[in-house]
Structures are given as structure tokens and as C-alpha cells.
Structure 1
Amino acid sequence: MSAPTAEALGRLWADGYTVVPAVVTGSLLERLRTEADAMVTAFEDGHRSEDFWHFTREGESAPVLFRIHNLEQQPGAPLAAGLFATGPLHHLAETILGGPARARVIAMIVKMPQVAAAVPWHRDRTDAEPGRAINLSLFLDDSDASNGALEFVPGSHLLADDAEVEKVRTAGPVLTIGAVAGDVAVHDVRTVHASRPNTTPRPRRSLVIEFVPDTTEAP
């Protein structure tokens, strides 16, 4: 597993995000991709549940999958459940947070080819101090500006809880962050961010786990 460099950690604390390359590689990455393929195919074949979040584009009837919530509870996701319980993302979170870490939630973000919409600008939550709650996004596919890359406003995790997201975005700067399959994008849950639509024939999927120090009280 790749470990974050001092430069990458410094960027995280200063800017609210960083990318750690090649955290998951080889057979585990390929098996996670196969697992993700099967869940997307199940949705396309008609599977529905309250954890499979989807929308319908204007003027069309076909639902578009965009998130599978409570991923560790899905029958078709034993490998993702394993990552939620232990393994390389836990080790990375513990390195970043400086001690034992606990996973709070895991989901798969799905940017379906040519139909995925942009995710609006937002902060995940503001009820944690800067540096006390982080999201790790493990990319199962290469991500760039054309297929749904993440975008961040650097330093926005340090803003007040009531900072207006749209004003923050307009003031900028806005940086687009690319990644390749196996990389992990790390961001503070307070950071103002969004993601682009997918206008390509390539999928863009990521497994997102929020981590907090193990001593943090459950909300």
C-alpha cells in the first residue's frame, strides 16, 4: 500500500484534500471492480432498494443509478464490506489521523457513462472540527475532467460552519482533481466540493468511506 508523503499530508491540512496514489492495486482492485460491475448490472436488470439511489433525466423514463448507500450491508458487496471493516483504507486513515480510526459509513458513487449528472457544490458536514473527520474515495476507474472528476475549493474546510457554499465556490479558486484506478482522494468532510458530470463512454466509480478517530463519540 502506498503511504501519504509529508507533502501530501501538508496539502490535506492546508487545502482540505489530497490524493494518495496506488493505495489498492492488483487482484484486490480487479475483484472490487468486478463486484461493482455486478451491482450496477443488478440495478440495470431491475433490482431496486432504498439503498440504490437513482434519478430520472428530464424527458426520459430510464432511471440512472448514482449511489449505493450502506454498501457494507449489500449482499453483493463482501469485498467492500471487508474494506469497511479493516484493511488498507483503515491503515491509511490511521496514518492520516495519527491513531486508531473508525469507519462510519461506506457508499459507492456511480458516474454512469454519458448520463451521470454533476453533484452540486456542498460540504459533507460541519459538525466536526477541521482534521477530525475525513472521507477516503477509492477510485475503481480512472477519473478526469470529462468523466466526473472531483472539484474542491482549497482551504474551505477552515471556514466557519455557516459559510455559504455558493459564495465560497464563486470566490474560488476551484481545482479539478484527477485520479487513476487504485488512487485514494482524501478530503476533510468540511471541504467545499462537487463533481462533474460524465460525458464519456467510460464509467467513473469510487468507494467512499468516512473515517473519524476511534475515540470520537458516535453521532
Structure 2
Amino acid sequence: MSAPTAEVLGQLWADGFTVVPAVVTDPLLERLRAEADALVAAFEDGHRSDDFWSFTREGESTPVLFRVHNLERQPGAPLAAGLFATGPLHHLAESILGCPARARVIAMIVKMPRVAAAVPWHRDRTDAEPGRAINLSLFLDDSDAANGCLEFVPGSHLLPDVADVAQAREAGPVLTVGALAGDVAVHDVRAVHASRPNPTERPRRSLVIEFIPDTTEAP
């Protein structure tokens, strides 16, 4: 994998987010999709655990899966565990951070067709200085405004720790950030962001890994 361009890095440091195209391609991408399909199918067949997060829509009883946490520990996710341990996302994170990096957590975000809800505006955390903790989202499916893509308030990673998220969103601007399967969306954990619901027939799944410099003490 080639190093991110100066333009990509410039957008990340200025806006708090960027997209790096085609970081993962077939056959690995296709195998990761199959792994994701199996995890979703297990949930739909009745598998439940504290790591499979779901919600129930008003007036309905069927739970809707939206996240598989601690993905590296799931018996059905050896490829995701491999990405958590080493590989192209580690290389990308180290190129961005400019130093050896380590993965802190990995999860699969699932926007199920027709039923996925929006994710409210939030910041992942603020106990890291700008540019010292980043989330890399590897998209397994194309993501756009129709099926639940990410939205960001550019520059919001530079706001004070106590900044009000709702006020930041209202002040804007808000940018919609699409991505193709295999692309990696990178954002500072301090950035104000959200994602849209998915009323389409298309799934929108991503593997999200937080990276920090290897010398940083994890919170």
C-alpha cells in the first residue's frame, strides 16, 4: 500500500476526516464480506452476546443488529482479527501518525437494509489531543447518502473538550462523506460526526479500528 498523499493528510489535519481509496481489494475484501455475512446470519439465527449490540424499533419485537464489538474475539471473524493484529490498516495508521501505531479496539458497524437507524451526532472521545487518536473505517460495501454514510463537521476535532456537540452541528457546515467498498474513511476521534439511516435494500457495513501511537498509554 502506498503512503497517503499530502492532499489526504492535509484534509485530515484541517478537517478531522478524509477518505483513502482502495486500501483493501479482492480477494481479501470479498472474504471479509463473507465473514461479515456469517456474523449477521448468526445473529439472525438467534446468537446473542454482550458483543452483539442491537436495538428494537418502536412497535416491533425483532431486534436489529447495529454493531459487533470486540470483533477480534469473535469465533467467526479470523480475518478481522488478522487486520486488528497487523496488515494494511496498521501500515496506513503508521503513515498518518508518523510513528509506530497499535490498534486499540475493532468493531463491525452494521447498517441493515431497510431498518438501520441513524447514529446521533457525537464525538468518539476527547481525552486525546487532536491528531493523536484516529479511527479507520474500512468499508465492506459502497456507502452514500442513501444507505447511511458518515457526516462530519469539518474542523470540529479542534474544538475544546467541553464543546457542545449539538451547537457544533448547528453551526456547521455539515459534509456528507461517501466511500466505495475497500476505501478507508479516517477521522480524528475528537471530530463531531454522525451517520444516516439506511432505508435502502443495500447493506452498509464497515470495520472500524481505533489506532494510537504505540507509545501512548491507552485510556
TM-score range, shorter chain: over 0.9
The 5 Å alignment of 1:13-24 reads 13-24=13-24
Q: Which residue of the partner structure matches residue 105 of structure 2?
A: 105
Q: Counterpart of 1:202 in structure 2: which amino acid?
A: R
CA distance in 2, matches of 1:4, 1:52: 33
Q: Counterpart of 2:81 in structure 1: which amino acid?
A: A
Q: Which residue of the partner structure matches residue 59 of structure 2?
A: 59
Q: Which residue of the partner structure matches residue 183 of structure 1?
A: 183
Q: Which residue of the partner structure matches residue 39 of structure 1?
A: 39
Q: CA deviation at 1:4?
A: 1.5
Q: Which residue of the partner structure matches residue 210 of structure 2?
A: 210
CA distance in 2, matches of 1:102, 1:202: 32
- CA RMSD, 1 decimal: 0.6
TM-score by length of 2: 0.99
SS at match of 2:27: helix
Structure 1 unmatched runs, 5+? none
2:99 matched to 1:129?
Answer: no
Q: Which residue of the partner structure matches residue 151 of structure 2?
A: 151
1:130-180, Cα deviation, whole Å (9 max, x unpaired): 000000000000000010000000000000000000000000000000000
Q: Which residue of the partner structure matches residue 82 of structure 1?
A: 82
1:80-111, Cα deviation, whole Å (9 max, x unpaired): 00000000000000000001001000000000
Q: Which residue of the partner structure matches residue 96 of structure 1?
A: 96
Q: CA deviation at 1:218?
A: 2.3
Q: Which residue of the partner structure matches residue 197 of structure 2?
A: 197
SS at match of 2:148: coil
Structure 2 unmatched runs, 5+? none
CA distance in 2, matches of 1:20, 1:201: 26
SS at match of 1:26: coil
CA gap of 1:63–1:2, structure 2 versus 1, over 3 A, is farther
CA distance in 1, matches of 2:9, 2:176: 18
Q: Which runs of 4+ in 1 moved over 6 A?
A: none
SS at match of 1:130: coil
CA distance in 1, matches of 2:140, 2:218: 29
Task: Say if 1:68 and 1:107, in contact at 8 Å, map to a contact too.
Answer: yes
Q: CA deviation at 1:3?
A: 3.3
CA distance in 1, matches of 2:177, 2:185: 9
Aligned residues: 219
Q: CA deviation at 1:26?
A: 1.1
SS at match of 1:84: helix
The 5 Å alignment of 1:5-20 reads 5-20=5-20
Q: Counterpart of 1:131 in structure 2: which amino acid?
A: G
TM-score by length of 1: 0.99
Task: Say if 1:3 and 1:23, in contact at 8 Å, map to a contact too.
Answer: no
SS at match of 1:29: helix
Q: Which residue of the partner structure matches residue 116 of structure 2?
A: 116
SS at match of 2:109: strand
SS at match of 1:96: helix
Q: CA deviation at 1:2?
A: 4.7
1:38-95, Cα deviation, whole Å (9 max, x unpaired): 0000000000000000000000111000000000000000000000000000000000
Identity level (%): 86
